[in-house]
Amino acid sequence: MCFRPAAVSKPIECPNCKKKVASVGGKRLKQCPYCKEDLPEK
């Protein structure tokens, strides 16, 4: 069975455009790919 922490697998909502942004390759994105707004840490 594979275990992934909830924070990694859960998509982050952009505070500016409200779109869901998923992590890429197990790493969190620092900016929204749609509007280039900085994403929150948590």
Show the DSSP H helices in the chain as ranges: 6-9
Exposure letters 6-35 (e unless 16+ CB within 10 A, then b): eeeeeebebeeeeeebeeeeeeeeeebeee
Query: What is the rounded CA–CA span in Å between residue 1 and residue 30?
Result: 29
* Whether the model pTM is above 0.75: no
How many structural domains does the chain have?
Answer: 1
Structural domain of 33: 1-42
pLDDT digits (tens, 9 = 90+) for 9-41: 688 999 999 999 988 777 888 999 999 999 988
Adjacent-strand bridge partners of 38: 31
pLDDT band at 5 (very low <50, low <70, confident <90, very high): low
37 or 3, greater pLDDT = 37
